[in-house]
């Protein structure tokens, strides 16, 4: 049985990994090419800065996947939509975006989703919580497993690639 949570509207909603952990193409299908392009530009611009800061944003949101020993996010290729939208002010203020892209980025997410009732709650089932924080992973039923893999990696019991592979497989298998 899939774990359930109260979504942003207070309804019980089964949490499905296919709707939580997204590839770039999944994200583009859900949010459209324009938004995906802006987020991709921010991500590319931020790569160098994110690497040098040591994951400050990841720490700020309480990401359970975070370890200073990882060279970069261990689930970057399938990171949730919340992570894809989360950038520090330095990146947001200095990224090479034109006026149209900045306006699109500043629109409230509800405006981007149009008039589809329930779409926002479906896309962000645990809003305002991040899916990668302790509460989000508890709702998915994988918090202890994630902590165990990250702990084993930090102790040197797993290589970085082994830990990444295990975390990715676990995320993709969640809720199915």
| Average pLDDT per block of 10 residues along the chain, 176 residues long | 38 53 87 85 77 75 89 88 76 81 68 53 56 84 95 98 96 76
Instruction: With CA atoms as reference, report the closest residue to 129 among 1, 4, 7, 3.
Output: 7
Which residues constitute the domain of residue 158? Answer: 15-112+129-173
In a domain, 120, yes or no: no
In a domain, 28, yes or no: yes
* Rounded distance between C-alpha atoms, residue 111 and residue 104, angstroms: 10
pLDDT (0 to 100) of residue 9: 33
pLDDT (0 to 100) of residue 176: 55
Could you tell me the maximum CA-CA distance found in the chain, to the nearest angstrom?
Answer: 50
60 and 50 in contact (C-beta within 8 Å)?
no
Using a CB cutoff of 8 Å and minimum separation of 24, what contacts does 111-119 make?
A: 112/31, 112/32, 112/35, 118/9
Collect all residues with Cβ–Cβ distance below 8 Å to 111 and sequence separation of at least 6: none
CA within 13 Å, CB half, 167: 32
In a domain, 138, yes or no: yes
* Rounded distance between C-alpha atoms, residue 115 and residue 146, angstroms: 36
In a domain, 2, yes or no: no
CA dihedral 66, 73, 135, 39 (to 10 degrees): 140
In a domain, 1, yes or no: no
In a domain, 9, yes or no: no
In a domain, 5, yes or no: no
In a domain, 119, yes or no: no
What is the number of domains present in the chain?
1
pTM attached to this predicted model? 0.72
């Amino acid at each position: 049985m899939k774990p359930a949570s109260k979504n942003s509207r207070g309804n019980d909603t089964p949490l499905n990994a296919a709707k939580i952990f997204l590839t770039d193409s999944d994200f583009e299908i859900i949010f459209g090419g324009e938004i995906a392009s802006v987020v991709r530009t921010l991500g590319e611009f931020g790569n160098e800065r994110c690497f040098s800061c040591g994951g400050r944003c990841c720490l700020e949101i309480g990401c359970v996947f975070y370890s200073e020993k990882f060279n970069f996010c261990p689930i970057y290729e399938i990171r949730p939509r919340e992570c894809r939208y989360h950038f520090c002010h330095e990146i947001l203020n200095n990224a090479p975006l034109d006026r149209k892209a900045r306006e699109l980025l500043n629109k409230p997410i509800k405006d981007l989703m149009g008039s589809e009732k329930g779409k926002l709650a479906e896309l962000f089932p645990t809003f305002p919580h991040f899916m990668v924080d302790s509460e989000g992973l508890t709702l998915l039923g994988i918090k202890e497993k994630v902590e165990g893999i990250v702990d084993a990696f930090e102790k040197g019991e797993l290589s970085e690639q082994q830990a990444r592979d295990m975390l990715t497989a676990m995320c993709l298998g969640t809720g199915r």
